[in-house]
Amino acid sequence: MSSLFFVQMIINIKIILKMRKTYGNINDIENYIQNCFWVIEKELIMLNILLSVTATVLFVLLCVIYPLGILRFLEKSKEKQRKSVDCFLRKIHKKMGVWIIVVSLLHGIVEIKAGNLDGMFSGKICFLLLILLWLSYGLKRVLKEKWMIVHRILAVLTVIAVIVHVGGM
């Protein structure tokens, strides 16, 4: 939603106020403001759908790396394709991890602004687990060999939490 929308809304209210002096009434302003909030609510819903889908795609791409690394194909062309996808996903894994945290935070903020508090508890758990996943990578030097085990355990817990969150529990 752009600031241009709010500027236009203020201009329209001023026009209605000027009209009120001659032949309008206060109900015109109330109706206009209600319509503006309906537009804002509609845009919040659209933004939230975009954030939800983005978070889901990022999450799937982050999770598919482990099975993709284990999987092997006998056919050389499929194996070559698997390796290139695996290499690409591993290269952008850290960036996707940061992006999913940002997108998830925005998703939670938009949900609160829209007044939709369903799934807020499970969403907070998911977000906390994403932060812990990020921290487990940050503590790689401290955890040494154990960091990957911690990271994978947190990843499994995050998958379970996301399934619960998306399932609406």
Give the pLDDT of the chain (169 residues) as one tens digit per residue.
455 555 565 666 666 556 555 445 556 556 655 665 566 677 778 888 889 999 999 999 999 988 888 888 888 888 888 888 889 989 999 999 999 999 999 999 888 887 778 888 999 999 999 999 999 988 888 888 888 899 999 999 999 999 999 887 5
- Which residue range is the domain that position 80 belongs to? 48-167
Structural domain contains residue 123: yes
User: How many domains is the chain built from?
Assistant: 1
CB 103 within 8 A of CB 47: no
Q: What is the DSSP letter of 168?
A: T
Q: Is residue 36 in some structural domain?
A: no
Residue 23 has what pLDDT? Answer: 47
Is 151 within the bounds of a domain?
A: yes
**Mind listing the pLDDT tens digit for each residue in 95-133?**
999 999 999 999 998 888 877 788 889 999 999 999 999
Q: Give the predicted TM-score (pTM) of the model.
A: 0.73
Residue 159 lies in a domain: yes
Residue 35 counted as domain residue: no
Q: Tell which residue, 13, 15, 18, 17, has the closest CA to residue 33.
A: 13
Say if residue 107 is exposed, middle or buried (CB neighbours under 10 Å; 0-12, 13-18, 19+). buried
Residue 40 placed within a domain: no
